[in-house]
Amino acid sequence: MSFPFKTIALIGKHKNPEIVAPLLRLGQYLQSRNLEVLLDCLTAAEVTATAYPALALEEIGARADLAIVLGGDGTMLNIARKLAPFDVPLVGINQGRLGFLTDLSIDTMLETVGAMLDGRYVTERRMLLSAEVMRSEASVFDALALNDVAVNRGSGGSMIEFEVHINGEYVYSLRADGLIVATPTGSTAYALSSGGPILHPSLDLIALVPVSPHTLSNRPIVVGPDAIVEILMHRTADARVHSDSHFHFDLQENDKVVVRRSPHTVRLLHSADHSYYRMLREKLGWSGFPQK
C-alpha cells in the first residue's frame, strides 16, 4: 500500500510565540521520516531560520496531503473552513487543555503523530454550513461555518424580532436575544450554553437554538441536513450575523439570513483510540457520581 501522507503542512496559532518550539520539533521529526514539510505564510512569519517553504493556505490546499494544526479549537475552526474546499485531512494538536477539535496533546504529539503516519488513526467527516445574507434580492454577505451561524442582538440591549422559515414553510416568529443555527460540531459550543442538544458528529443534522427567547415555549428544534433555514429580520436593534464567531455582518430590517448545508465537509483525523464519549465525559465533567 502506498504511503498516504508525503507532504505535510504545519499551521500554528497566529501570533503565538509559544507554538514555535513544538512546531519546529514536529517539523524535524517529520523530516526524519523523509516527509516534505510546508508552513503557511502567517506561521512562517513567526518562525526564523527554517528552510520549510512558506505558502498561502490556498497553495497548501493544492499541495498538502495532510495539515497539522497547532493551537486551539478557534485556530482549527479558521483553518478547517479555509481548507475544506480542498478536502485536506486535518489533525489538531492543543498546546493547553485538550479541545473538542484539537484533541491531541502537545506533550505526546511525536508518538501520536508517528502512529497516525503509520496508519493507526480514525477519520471523521464533519458537515459545514453555508450562510448568506440577502438584501433587496441581492447577496451582500456569505460565509462558511463549522460550528454555527448565529444572529444576535447588538450592544443596545433590546431584543430582536424575526421570523423563521424552513424549506419555504413558516415555522415561527421570535422575539429573543438571537438564534443559533448549529452543526453537530457546534452543538457542544455556543448552542450548548443556550440549552441546545448535543448531536453526535457523525450525524448530518442542523439544530436551531433560540437565545433567551421572550416566550419560554420557543424551544430548540433539530432538522434534517437538506433543510434551508431562512431568518427574516423585522426589528434588528443593531443585530449582527456571526459565522463561527469569526466573520460578522451588520443586519438591517428586512434582511434575510439563509443557512443551508455546504457541499464541502471537513475531514478530521484522530488517534486510533479516540472516543467521542470519553471526550464528552472529560470536557463536561461526566466522570462519576456527585460526591455526597
Determine which of 4-8, 175-179, 247-251, 285-289 has the lowest per-residue pLDDT on average.
285-289
pLDDT band at 216 (very low <50, low <70, confident <90, very high): confident
User: Choosing from 73, 103, 148, 177, which is the catalytic residue?
Assistant: 73
Residue 245 pLDDT greater than 60, yes or no: yes
Query: Strand 160-166 vs strand 229-235: parallel, antiparallel, or unpaired?
Result: antiparallel
CATH 1.10.132.20 fits 128-263, yes or no: no
**Does the global pTM surpass 0.85?**
yes
What values do phi and psi take at 44, rounded to 5? -60, -30
Of all residues in the chain, the percent with pLDDT exceeding 90 is: 79
Whether 73 is catalytic is: yes
Output the pLDDT for position 98: 67
Asked whether the beta carbons of 173 and 162 are under 8 A apart, the reply is yes
Q: Which of 268, 270, 266 is nearest to 113 (CA)?
A: 270
Determine which of 5-9, 137-141, 228-232, 235-239 has the lowest per-residue pLDDT on average.
235-239
Residue 256 pLDDT greater than 60, yes or no: yes
Looking at residue 89, its amino acid is: P
CATH 2.60.200.30 domain locations along the chain: 128-263
Task: Give tens-digit pLDDT for 106-157.
Answer: 999 999 999 999 999 999 999 999 999 999 999 999 999 999 999 999 877 7
Give mean pLDDT, residues 255-276.
96
CATH 3.40.50.10330 domain locations along the chain: 7-119
Output the pLDDT for position 1: 35
Output the pLDDT for position 227: 98
Sort 189 into a burial class: Cβ within 10 Å, 0-12 / 13-18 / 19+.
buried
Give mean pLDDT, residues 17-45.
93
Residue 49 pLDDT greater than 70, yes or no: no
Mean of the per-residue pLDDT values of the chain: 93
Supply angle C-alpha 134, 136, 140, rounded to 5: 40
Output the pLDDT for position 285: 84
The fold of 7-119 is Rossmann fold (3.40.50)
Alpha carbon 195 to its chain centroid, in Å, reads 19
Output the pLDDT for position 292: 64
Determine which of 36-40, 71-75, 145-149, 256-260 has the lowest per-residue pLDDT on average.
71-75
How far apart are the C-alpha atoms of 61 and 83, rounded to whole Å?
A: 6
Output the pLDDT for position 47: 82
Q: Concatenated DSSP letters for 61-121?
A: HHH-SEEEEEE-HHHHHHHHHHHGGGT--EEEEESSS--SS--EEGGGHHHHHHHHHTT-E
